[in-house]
Amino acid sequence: MSDEPVILGPPAKLNLTLEVLGRRPDGYHDLASVFQAIDLRDVLRLWPAASLSLECSTPDLVGEGNLVLRAARLLQAEAGVATGARLHLAKRIPVAAGLGGGSSDAAAVLVGLNRLWGLEWPAESLVELAARLGSDVPFFLGPPTALAAGRGEQLSPLPALAPHIALVVRPALRQPPPRDKTRRLYAALRPEDYRDGAASRQLAEAIGAGRPLDPALLVNSFERVARGLCPEVAEAAAAMLVAGAWWIRLAGSGPCLYTLFRQDGAGAQQAAAEAEGLRASGVEIHVAATLAGDAALNAHIGPDSI
């Protein structure tokens, strides 16, 4: 077992599409979604220790119900590890915002402890544990672009998306999102919010063929209900339009919003101009590149990379 700390950079993700197909007999919902990881990262540090402990830059997130600790305890139990680890999580991904930060952190813990404890578990074993922690967690152990089905855990890797810049905006919320935000959003869906998955399939085909993204395909079944339950979402969207955005989409179940630009000189200038135009509106702004390549999303990073 190494005495050196392991440092990981768990990334956020965008649901380029998020189609709710309908309610299942088990109470969950079937989904069709295209996932895309972006270079907006938390920072997770892991050191050897006698027992498991977690420190976080957002103290309210620390507790036995934290998905990071749950992931650590699950791997510890399944691997029969007697020792522990000291975990420190620096949050940069907005919390409960539709960007998958908690799921990404959980995946990072599995990767980091697998290395710290010298387990040498194959990726397939970590993916099996990840699926037990949450539907989104397995995605963060694989390629950065994927078509998701089922509850989101059935993943089909896609070719790399052409490089884009994401402008991600968290509305200025007058009160924190409720803990049961996602449950409320699902409960508020109407039959007209359900979709058939065609947009996700068409987008996956377009990415595979290397065609430019068509914003008309970037659909989200939660758009209506999120704006209804959180008026600040509509306010932030209006501010983005004033700042020059051509189109805006909800990130996951929200309340974050995003728009994309091609990663070239003109796109970078436009993203910077729109970010500057939003600064006076009180929203939280993040500019991040889409991730590409075959490397696992939670690969080890060095201190110079954070």
Catalytic residues: 13, 136
Q: Which residues pair with 154 in a beta bridge?
A: 149
Instruction: Count the neighbouring beta carbons within 10 Å of the beta carbon of residue 288.
Output: 23
3-state secondary structure of 160: coil
Alpha carbons 255 and 67: distance in angstroms, whole number: 20
Candidates 241, 240, 199; CA nearest to 220 is 199
Residue 287 contacts residue 275 (beta carbons within 8 Å): yes
Sheet holding 145-149, edge to edge: 11-23, 29-41, 145-149, 154-157
Beta bridge partners, 23, equal 29
> For residue 242, what are the contacts with CB-CB under 8 A and spacing of at least 6?
277
Task: Give backbone dihedrals phi and psi of 233, rounded to 5 degrees, phi first.
Answer: -65, -45
Alpha carbon dihedral 271, 227, 151, 179, in 10-degree steps, equals 100
Tokens linked to 60: 């309210």
Q: How far apart are CA 303 and CA 178, in angstroms?
A: 35
Amino acid, single-letter form, for residue 275: A
3-state secondary structure of 8: strand
Query: Coil, strand, or helix at residue 285?
Result: strand
